[in-house]
Amino acid sequence: IGTGISILEMSHRSSDFSKIINSTENLLRELLNVPENYKILFLQGGGSGQFSGIPLNLIGLKEDRCADYLVTGTWSAKAAKEAEKYGKVNVIHPKLDCYTKIPDSSTWSLNPSASYVYYCCNETVHGVEFNFIPDTKGVLLVSDMSSNFLSRPVDVSKFGLIFAGAQKNVGCAGVTVVIVREDLMGKALKECPIILDYQVQAGNNSLYNTPPCFSIYIMALVLEWIKNNGGADAMERLNEQKSDIIYDNINHSNGFYSCPVDEACRSRMNIPFRIGKKEGDESLEKAFLDGASKLGMISLKGHRSVGGIRASLYNAVTVEDVKALAAYMEEFLKNHR
The residue ranges that bind ligand PLP (CB under 6 A) are: 46-48, 75, 120, 124, 144, 146-147, 165
The active-site residue, picked from 75, 88, 244, 321, is 75
Q: Which lies closer to ligand PLP via its Cβ, residue 144 or residue 197? A: 144
Q: Which lies closer to ligand PLP via its Cβ, residue 130 or residue 273? A: 130
**Is residue 76 within 8 Å of residue 123, measured between CB atoms?**
yes
**Rounded least distance, CB 165 to ligand PLP, Å:** 4
**Rounded least distance, CB 51 to ligand PLP, Å:** 7
Is 225 an annotated catalytic residue? no
Question: Measured on CA atoms in the order 131, 70, 97, 147, is the torsion positive or negative?
Answer: positive
> Could you tell me which residues come within 8 angstroms of residue 256 by beta carbon, excluding any fewer than 6 positions away?
275, 276, 333, 336, 337
Q: Which lies closer to ligand PLP via its Cβ, residue 165 or residue 276? A: 165
Q: Which lies closer to ligand PLP via its Cβ, residue 73 or residue 308? A: 73
Q: Residue 261 to residues 267, 273, 317: CA-CA distances in angstroms?
A: 9, 9, 22
The active-site residue, picked from 39, 68, 168, 242, is 168
**Rounded least distance, CB 211 to ligand PLP, Å:** 15
Distance of CA 72 to the CA centre of its chain: 13
Distance of CA 221 to the CA centre of its chain: 19
The active-site residue, picked from 39, 68, 144, 197, is 144
**Rounded least distance, CB 302 to ligand PLP, Å:** 14
What residues are paired with 311 via a beta bridge? 271
Is 168 an annotated catalytic residue? yes
**Is residue 246 within 8 Å of residue 145, measured between CB atoms?**
no
Helix, strand, coil percentages (3-state) for the chain, rounded to 5, are 40, 15, 45
Is 137 an annotated catalytic residue? no
Residues assigned a catalytic role = 75, 144, 168
